Structure 1
């Protein structure tokens, strides 16, 4: 894929555009290439000079954690507490930090929502910036990552309820840089066909092509009828933590302006694993979500198409990145097998069968 430099200033301004202007910009090649550039790089490898004391008045040590673009560290503070530090020197990452820190700050105190809390700097700012490097510090969520928790109908229902709660809270938030170019944003889906050469030939490649063709025919023309707002945009089992108080959400780095139901499509898609049911076992995620948010007719009709398109995007983007960074391929491809499985399970549903399956799932009671 051709990548071009020098678009960060344009990307930073996109949050100031009106709805019609942003929609046109999001459909453009410039948006897609700017978003692609953000994932065509590995995290910074610069030497940290421990910004904890200078910006936060804290002393401690930093341990690097896995991350796609931004550099993420566990901060082990001298008093025994543990925090999470995110930092980077790239303009796109700094825009993402502005979005993440502001969103987390606004979510603080939202009823029923569990998410990290931002630690203000000594000056009271949500993030620090100096000499081209920026970042922010947040609390660490203690619990068990959802991908390590046995999947039961009641757990999946609780995931749906927690996701609905955070979507309701996010609906009232207006964060900076929410419309920055992000390759995981649905605005990029029509151009992801350019990544098809990176797919290994076989049944998965065929299913991806079919799913994206069906998305363009049956889903994309109706996106304007959906409710748009700020969303998490990556509520995967790796970004959800089961705590003693319920399901918490971490890593808002892909978040931004999207159809609200996209979060449900992404979360439900991660649990399409059982061929015995029409929606592969994701029924109770949908039921839990629908217990708090009544899905519109359009959302019901488009949900399965959105799930298949997200599965396809995950396969396309991660195969492309794995080719760019072969040494990091195991980490990059960690969710691809699950997406391939989901595509296989949902491939046989036509549009009327998909709608009927979603309506049946919505009628389920908490197990």
Structure 2
């Protein structure tokens, strides 16, 4: 059974490392024997860079937030290695070993702190957010996520249940952040969905399946072929992975499909229907999935508002999902729980 630790905000309260690119290049050369150009990649907690060699081969080097326990980094590495063993066709990055055969090493930061460095293969493809949304693409995303979850179903690790605020099943631990919402109408909206979570989801969580999940499967983290936007080439960013209710994985992913159609439930219903066809949801999971979809929007709003105030220099990245989250909560507040659930499960119930 995974180790149970209290949820803390340490990783979201500590600034990401900021090595200059020349330092990153020298670090990669020393540890991996790989030389190439270095460019920055976006990230919330860690420093991420792309290394491109003279022959065009690319890698991603990740310098962890100094608050991230090494055990959690090892958990993420072990999960990718597990997927590579049990389901090698999964479109996920591979862990690159150092010259000495290690899966990670350490790097000294400017303030004297030490943190973890690791490298992954770079996956080619176009982020889905840059492509037109289609029903076939949403269904492909649902199917691929279900297969990823099946690959992770038997994976365990001592640090799988680690400290992470981005966990819809622990949303009640963000209740204190409701007071940080300045706008009264938005605060009332957030309070409504926090109450809905506490009343309808929390009592049922002990009755649903739990396993290691990706927990951040959205339009930024799924890559498709440039010439075929329904063919998924990559799943990236396993930094929010943890042991949690499986239905929270599906709800989190479905939440990002509410935009782009006149009916905000059309896209999520297509996604959930395809997921269910590969990895069926139980009756209890079907009962609370829509509540958890709303909960994902709720924690997005709460965490992004808090972090944008704390790190204004990274505001654009932190707030990228914030407007859509508030819009989705407003749309869902106009419906009863039962009506929202029935609209989300349209394709599930067709089968």
Assess same fold via TM > 0.5: yes
- 2:163 corresponds to: 181
Q: Higher mean Cα deviation, 197-206 or 288-297?
A: 197-206
Label 1:128 to 1:364 Cα distance change in 2 as closer, same or farther (>3 A).
Answer: farther
Deviation at 1:105, TM superposition (A): 1.4
Q: Is residue 123 of structure 2 the alignment partner of residue 141 of structure 1?
A: yes
Does the 8 Å CA contact 2:2/2:157 hold for their aligned counterparts? Answer: no
- 1:333 corresponds to: 319
Label 1:122 to 1:111 Cα distance change in 2 as closer, same or farther (>3 A).
Answer: closer
- Measured against aligned partners, the alpha-carbon deviations of 1:85-124 in whole angstroms (never above 9, x if no partner) come to 0013614153432122211111115165211111112222
188, 195, 208: which one pairs with 2:177? 195
45, 58, 82: which one pairs with 2:34? 58
71, 83, 103: which one pairs with 1:126? 103
Query: In 2, Cα distance between the equivalents of 1:77 and 1:230?
Result: 34
- 1:72 corresponds to: 48
3-state SS of 1:288 partner = helix
Does the 8 Å CA contact 1:272/1:345 hold for their aligned counterparts? Answer: no
Does the 8 Å CA contact 1:232/1:255 hold for their aligned counterparts? Answer: yes
Query: In 2, Cα distance between the equivalents of 1:342 and 1:288?
Result: 22
Does the 8 Å CA contact 2:40/2:48 hold for their aligned counterparts? Answer: yes
How many residue pairs get matched? 338
Label 1:194 to 1:220 Cα distance change in 2 as closer, same or farther (>3 A).
Answer: same
3-state SS of 1:43 partner = coil
- Measured against aligned partners, the alpha-carbon deviations of 1:161-219 in whole angstroms (never above 9, x if no partner) come to 01101111111212352111011123531121211122231443322110111000001
Query: In 1, Cα distance between the equivalents of 2:259 and 2:189?
Result: 16
118, 134, 140: which one pairs with 1:158? 140
CA RMSD of aligned residues (A): 2.1
Deviation at 1:45, TM superposition (A): 2.1
Label 1:62 to 1:322 Cα distance change in 2 as closer, same or farther (>3 A).
Answer: same
In the TM superposition, 1:270-349 aligns within 5 A as: 270-273=256-259, 276-277=262-263, 279-349=265-335
Q: Higher mean Cα deviation, 70-79 or 170-179?
A: 170-179
Does the 8 Å CA contact 2:215/2:252 hold for their aligned counterparts? Answer: yes
TM-score normalised by structure 1 residue count: 0.86
Deviation at 1:57, TM superposition (A): 1.8
3-state SS of 1:121 partner = coil
- 1:39 corresponds to: 12
In the TM superposition, 1:92-103 aligns within 5 A as: 92=68, 94-103=70-79
Structure 2 portions without partners, runs of 5+: 109-113
Label 1:56 to 1:294 Cα distance change in 2 as closer, same or farther (>3 A).
Answer: same
3-state SS of 1:63 partner = strand
3-state SS of 1:134 partner = strand
Label 1:16 to 1:161 Cα distance change in 2 as closer, same or farther (>3 A).
Answer: closer
Q: Higher mean Cα deviation, 74-83 or 140-149?
A: 74-83
- 1:269 corresponds to: 255
Deviation at 1:68, TM superposition (A): 1.1
- 1:232 corresponds to: 214
- 2:243 corresponds to: 257
TM-score normalised by structure 2 residue count: 0.89
